[in-house]
Structure 1
């Protein structure tokens, strides 16, 4: 089992103004984020605009990313897709490329909604690969909620060793923890509380614009320095509340670009937020500069 403890930064995908992926910037960002101390990088993440990437683009991101990472931190590849054969094809390719773990959404958009159907979906993937599966609870996006009971059943699969919980419900999050399985927080606005409750770590989109702060927060909690963690959290929280309640991906890339991380562009069909929305996002970053 891979050790995914710590901050696993859900990497943005750098796009030029024409929408093409800038692979040079991709590799530069990998170095910058590793130098900031992150424990893992999620390639092809939701924050990286995964739904708008082709399979071949994801494969190239995995290949160039894993080579650049060069075992300096964990490489987690998102291999989600709607077609079952494509999920397995993406997953086996990522494993062959050297991924440490795979992050995979449940079968959303008119797929099976019952627990047995979701379990069978992951069982088929589990049989095809030999590295960790990170399941994904994000009902606000998929319409599917992974119950604590289903999580316990999924955890009995050979490779289903983690879940990323982005729902933001601390009750469910703690019920997950009660199963004894490993949980990674995915909700920006609950991160400090999830870590204090015992989450193994986080898969964190907001870390794109504050990698140093997220690593410091994790280190404070891991050391039992909760007063220091909460003091840092108060500086981080305004921007996290903003991205969680506005256009998430656009806000993250605007904030990241402002702080020297990435190019600040999104890919169609997403649209850039306007100047007023950008200014509102940037105002929330002020506490981080004090």
Structure 2
């Protein structure tokens, strides 16, 4: 079982002005994020615009990414898809190129939403792969909530050892923490509190524009330096609140570009922020420079 502790950066996929993946920038970003001390990189994350990448693009992205990372941190690949056979196919490819874990959404578009149906979905994948599975609880996007009771069942599967909880319900998150598996926080505004509560690590989109600060926050909490962690958190919080209440991925990518990470380009149908939104984002980022 991989240890996905710490900061697992939900990595952006850099695009050029025409919407093509810029692999040179991708590899450069990997080096910079690894040098910042992140513990893992999530390739093809939601922040990496996974829904708008083809299967072939994801496969190449994971091949290039795993080779560039070269064992310097954990590699987590998203293998989500609507078609069951495609999920398994994507999972096996990511596994073959060296993924330490596979992040997989539940059947998120008119699939089974009941506990038994979701369990069977993950059970089928679990039986087909030999790599750690990171389930994904993000009901605001999928319409599916993983209950603590269902999570307890899922953790009995051989490879289902993690769940990324992006719901932002801290009560449920703490209920998850009582189960016999590993919880990864995915809701940006609760990050510091989840770490203090015992969350093993995070899968974090905002780390794209503040990787060093994210690692420092984790290190401070891990060392029990809560006052210092909360002081750092106050500098991080304005931009975190902005991106959480705004178009998330375009906000993160622009913030990253403004701080020297990546191109800032999104792929259609996503759109860049408006001028007014950009002005507010710039204002929120100012606290990080203080």
Question: Do both proteins adopt the same fold according to a TM-score greater than 0.5, normalized to the shorter chain?
Answer: yes
Give yes or no for contact 2:41–2:73 (8 Å, CA) kept in 1.
Answer: yes
Q: Secondary structure at the match of 2:118?
A: helix
Question: What's 1:182 paired with?
Answer: 182
CA distance in 2: counterparts of 1:169 and 1:272, whole angstroms: 29
Question: What's 2:192 paired with?
Answer: 192
CA distance in 2: counterparts of 1:170 and 1:87, whole angstroms: 29
Question: What's 2:277 paired with?
Answer: 277
Instruction: Return the offset for 1:45.
Output: 0.3
TM-score (norm 2): 0.99
Question: What's 1:90 paired with?
Answer: 90
Question: What's 2:242 paired with?
Answer: 242
Question: What's 1:206 paired with?
Answer: 206
Question: What's 1:169 paired with?
Answer: 169
Q: Tell whether 2:16 aligns with 1:16.
A: yes
Question: What's 1:263 paired with?
Answer: 263
Deviations 1:18-66 (A, max 9, x none): 0000000000000000000000000000000100000000000000000
Q: Secondary structure at the match of 1:12?
A: coil
Deviations 1:93-149 (A, max 9, x none): 000111000000000110001101000000010011111000000000000000000
Question: What's 1:149 paired with?
Answer: 149
Question: What's 2:114 paired with?
Answer: 114
Deviations 1:151-186 (A, max 9, x none): 000000000000000000000000000113110000
Q: Tell whether 2:99 aligns with 1:102.
A: no
Question: What's 1:127 paired with?
Answer: 127
Instruction: Return the offset for 1:277.
Output: 1.2
TM-score (norm 1): 0.99
Question: What's 2:68 paired with?
Answer: 68
CA distance in 1: counterparts of 2:181 and 2:97, whole angstroms: 27
CA distance in 1: counterparts of 2:180 and 2:283, whole angstroms: 40
CA distance in 2: counterparts of 1:23 and 1:181, whole angstroms: 35
Could you list the structure 1 runs, at least 4 aligned residues long, displaced by more than 2 angstroms after superposition. none
Give yes or no for contact 2:42–2:77 (8 Å, CA) kept in 1.
Answer: yes
CA distance in 2: counterparts of 1:95 and 1:181, whole angstroms: 21
Q: Secondary structure at the match of 1:285?
A: helix
CA distance in 2: counterparts of 1:253 and 1:3, whole angstroms: 28
- Equivalences, count: 290
Q: Secondary structure at the match of 1:284?
A: helix
Q: Tell whether 2:29 aligns with 1:29.
A: yes
